[in-house]
Amino acid sequence: MNKHKGTVKVIPLGGLEQIGMNCTAIQYGDDIIVIDGGLSFPEDSMLGIDLVIPDITYLKENSRKIRGMVVTHGHEDHIGAIPYIEKELQIPIYSTKLTMGLIESKLTEHAIIDDVERHVVAYGETIRLGSISVEFIRTNHSIADSAALAIYTPAGVIVHTGDFKVDFTPVFGGVIDLQRFGELGKKGVMLLMADSTNVERPGYTPSEKMVGGTIDHLLDDNRDNRIIVATFASNVDRVQQIINSACKYGRKAVVDGRSMVNIINIASELGYINIPDNTLIDIDAAKDYPPEKLVYITTGSQGENMAALSRIANSTHNKIRLIPGDVVILSSSPIPGNEKAVYNLINELEQKGARVVYHDTHVSGHACQEELKLIYALTKPKYALPVHGEFRHLKKHAELAHEMGVPKKNIMVMSCGDVLEVSDECFEITGRVPAHGVFVDGLGVGDVGNIVIRDRQHLSENGLMVVSITLEKGTGRVLAGPDIISRGFVYVREAEALIEECRDIVDEVICYETGRGVTDWNKLKAAVKEALSEFLWQKTKRSPMILPIISEVDW
């Protein structure tokens, strides 16, 4: 596949034409590094699916060449698939401190932490992975310890921004290292791979501290009300600001939601969040305090059915009951596709007597247009490869890159699975690898494919009809049945005439087929399905899934 001598391959296995599932392979010769191992959450059409993870077929086929995985930050769409990848490949992992803490929690949950080699990397540190070296550069994002990567290959330097924004007043840690981006630009950047999530938004992304001010005002204005704040569990800086405001106004903070509790524990142990003594109390102790002296910090800002806030809203939470007058703050913006679930949640909370605040309570963790232009101005890349976004984001990003002086022929909008080869003289897609996403359903990984999903959609839309027949071995004479069971199609007791007609049709088909010497069960089943499908469509204009079951006995 590598037809250009001295080229580096860039192979996105996820993260393009979608939000989430970020995973990219960088290959030079016989050395491969993997950037991130994220998951995405299922679309509405993926019935019963829990998670979607990258297809790592190419990595498994080239496992001997993999030198390590470098991780930009600790969000689910960048680390959520790591346990599944590690079970297959056992790749050494390199990341910053908090990111590693979150990864280790996942590896522990999957009982594989002792099988995985792990290395914590500091900002400014460069690690050697075969013929490729990787430098970690400080950036800002909605989680601490986020990093951009400078990837040094014999073909040239690749800069990968990770998810980033430019925040001059971060809640925790230092300001993005713009100087380092400038230094790399002076030395020569061959390829820039930059975050596209907010490329459609003009201007700059506001500082995280702006949200802290809003939350502070809300607590001040609602001193006589209980406050419930829902936010992303991984936004440690947001949680820190909520705790600061709770402390300032003499309230106790109660944390609810498994992922929220887990991440706060990890961040607290590693020193990324400061919780004053006697501020955080257990949820069971909340009953000992007046409601106006409490702030609940929960998950569920995206309207997820099983998250804490949804359970509070529909009165199924076993520890928290909504009180009329509660002030609920949604400190997040809806992820694209979640809007309906979020607004349904708001409606339900308001109907129960809560006041929901969701305007000006969130800032993004991703760079807007002017911040992206700044990175282009500093790095002056020869080539541009927009990453981390849906197709419309990537297309808009390509336009921005051209506006910043990158020639159109040096900008590539790719799809997952494309193999891009890059060098000073070469910039072209030369092949494809499998990259369709793998479904995780319960404990099953990859055992549910498109055919199963299609069957589930069929069942959900049209229901099921089971036809059971017992035939005499040798003669094919019907001994019992046909018995018909309907699920999700019609209620049998209210459609007896229709069911009786179905039985008559099955009888006719079996008699006709066995009468002409057909004994192959598959042919009998196909004939039953065809006849019933045609009849039911004519009668009901519906197409249930028809499942014939034929038993054969000696008589």
Q: Which residues are catalytic?
A: 195, 366
- Rg (alpha carbons) of the chain, rounded to whole number: 29
Compute φ and ψ for 284, nearest 5 degrees.
-70, -20
What is the longest distance spanned by two Cα atoms in the chain? 89
Q: How many residues does the chain have?
A: 555
Hunting for tokens 């808009």 — which residue is that? Answer: 396
Q: Is 281 helix (H, G, I), strand (E, B) or coil?
A: strand
By CB atoms closer than 10 A (0-12, 13-18, 19+), residue 280 is: middle
Q: Is 434 helix (H, G, I), strand (E, B) or coil?
A: coil
DSSP 25-78: EEEETTEEEEE----BPPPTTSTT--EEE---HHHHHTGGGEEEEE-----HHH
CB of 325 within 8 A of CB of 225? yes
**Structure-block tokens of residue 497:** 């005439």
By CB atoms closer than 10 A (0-12, 13-18, 19+), residue 237 is: buried
Alpha-carbon distance values, 60 to 38, 91, 102, 281 (Å): 17, 11, 25, 46
CB of 466 within 8 A of CB of 492? no
